[in-house]
Amino acid sequence: MSPPRPAVVWDPRFREYDFGPGHPFTEASRDLAVRLLRASLGPPGIGRFLWVDRLDSAEGLLRRFHGPEYIEYVRQASDRGDRAYLDLGDTPSFAGCFGAATSLVAGADRAVHHALDTGTAAFHPGGGLHHAGRSGASGFCVFNDVAVAIADPVANGRRVAYIDIDAHHGDGVMYGFYDSGRVLDIDFHQDGRTLFPGTGFPPETGRGDGAGSKVNVPLPPGAGDEAVLPLFRRLVPPLLDGFRPDLIVLQHGVDGHAGDPLTRLQYTPSAYVEVLRTVVRLANAHCAGRLVVVGGGGYRPETVSRVLARAGRILGGVPLPDDGESLPEGWRSEYAAETGVEAPARWATPLRLVRSPWREQDEARLVRELEDALGRKFPASPPEPPRPR
Ligand SMILES: [Zn+2]
Closest by Cα among 352, 354, 259, 356 to 303: 259
Taking 80 as the threshold, does the pLDDT of residue 384 lie above it? no
Closest by Cα among 116, 377, 127 to 252: 127
pLDDT digits (tens, 9 = 90+) for 29-84: 999 999 999 999 988 899 999 999 999 999 999 999 999 999 999 999 999 998 88
CB 87 within 8 A of CB 268: no
Q: For residue 167, report the distance from its CA to the centre of ligand 1, in Å.
A: 5
- Residue 89 confidence (pLDDT): 80
Q: For residue 389, report the distance from its CA to the centre of ligand 1, in Å.
A: 35
Q: Does domain 7-374 have CATH number 3.40.50.300?
A: no
pLDDT digits (tens, 9 = 90+) for 215-247: 999 999 999 999 999 999 999 999 999 999 999
> What single-letter DSSP state applies at residue 383?
P
Q: For residue 142, report the distance from its CA to the centre of ligand 1, in Å.
A: 14
Taking 60 as the threshold, does the pLDDT of residue 389 lie above it? no
pLDDT digits (tens, 9 = 90+) for 148-188: 999 999 999 999 999 999 999 999 999 999 999 999 999 99
Taking 70 as the threshold, does the pLDDT of residue 388 lie above it? no
Q: For residue 299, report the distance from its CA to the centre of ligand 1, in Å.
A: 9
pLDDT digits (tens, 9 = 90+) for 190-210: 999 999 999 999 999 999 999
Q: For residue 188, report the distance from its CA to the centre of ligand 1, in Å.
A: 11
Mean of pLDDT over the chain: 96
Long-range contacts of 322-329 (CB under 8 A, 24+ apart): 322/347, 323/269, 323/347, 323/348, 324/348, 327/36, 327/40, 328/36, 328/39, 328/40
How crowded is residue 130: how many other Cβ atoms within 10 Å of its Cβ? 30
- Overall pTM surpassing 0.95 (yes/no): yes
Positions marked catalytic = 131
Neighbours of ion ligand 1 (CB under 5 A): 166-168, 253, 255, 297
Cα end-to-end span (Å), the chain: 39
pLDDT digits (tens, 9 = 90+) for 322-344: 999 999 999 999 999 999 999 99
- Residue 51 confidence (pLDDT): 98
Q: For residue 130, report the distance from its CA to the centre of ligand 1, in Å.
A: 8
Taking 60 as the threshold, does the pLDDT of residue 130 lie above it? yes
How crowded is residue 323: how many other Cβ atoms within 10 Å of its Cβ? 14
Q: Where are the alpha helices (DSSP H) in the chain?
A: 27-46, 68-80, 97-118, 145-155, 171-176, 225-243, 269-287, 301-315, 329-339, 360-374
- Residue 385 confidence (pLDDT): 62
